[in-house]
């Protein structure tokens, strides 16, 4: 099994410092541009027919040292890394749902940027509510968070 991932593009945003990045794309209205490399241009056919897309990317400026217990941004208690969305992870992979505003060739103009400028892009998937929206019964520590 092949375990490496090909970079298919780069994400451009106005965010250069980690401290300035929104904690989630759903809490952001920041614009950004997703530049897909020319060899993957054909793969964008039809993407403009979706209002939202998933971006899978690398946390290229995450701390190299990873701890398995972290204090997430919206709580003051320690939790296991896999029960949070904290960016310093064993595999520094990011996932954001963003609004697709417009496609211009190999460029996707988006709203909801929460990633830093120069972020490596691994994949794009369409957001489909029928597949992607669930009713939940439990939300772990987030349901009892002390911060909003």
Q: What is the CATH number of the domain that holds 95?
A: 2.40.30.70
Whether residue 53 has pLDDT greater than 70 = yes
- Give the C-alpha distances (Å, rounded to integers) separating 119 from 21, 83, 95, 129: 12, 24, 12, 26
Q: Looking at the domain assignment, is residue 4 inside a domain?
A: no
Contact at 8 Å (CB) between 21 and 114?
A: yes
Residue 85 counted as domain residue = yes
Instruction: Answer for the pair 73, 23: CB distance below 8 angstroms, yes or no.
Output: yes
Structural domain boundaries, residue 28: 9-128+136-144
* Residue 75 maps to a domain: yes
pLDDT in tens, 55-91: 999 987 777 778 899 888 778 889 898 888 788 888 8
| Structural domain count, the chain | 1
Q: Provide the whole-model pTM.
A: 0.85
pLDDT (mean) for 95-115: 96
Is 2 inside any structural domain? no
Tens-place pLDDT, residues 1-25? 566 889 999 999 987 876 777 666 6
């Amino acid at each position: 099994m092949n375990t490496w991932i090909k970079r298919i593009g780069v994400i451009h945003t106005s965010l250069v410092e980690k401290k300035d990045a929104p904690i989630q794309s759903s809490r952001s209205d920041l614009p950004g541009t997703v530049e897909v490399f020319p060899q993957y241009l054909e793969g964008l056919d039809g993407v403009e027919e979706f209002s939202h897309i998933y971006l899978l990317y690398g946390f290229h400026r995450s701390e190299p040292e990873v701890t398995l217990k972290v204090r997430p941004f919206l709580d003051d208690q320690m939790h296991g890394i896999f029960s949070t969305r904290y960016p310093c992870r064993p595999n520094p992979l990011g996932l954001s749902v963003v609004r697709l505003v417009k496609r211009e060739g190999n460029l996707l103009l988006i709203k909801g940027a929460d990633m830093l400028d120069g972020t490596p892009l691994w994949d794009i998937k369409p957001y489909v509510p029928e597949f992607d929206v669930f009713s939940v019964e439990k939300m772990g520590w987030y349901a009892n968070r002390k911060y909003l």
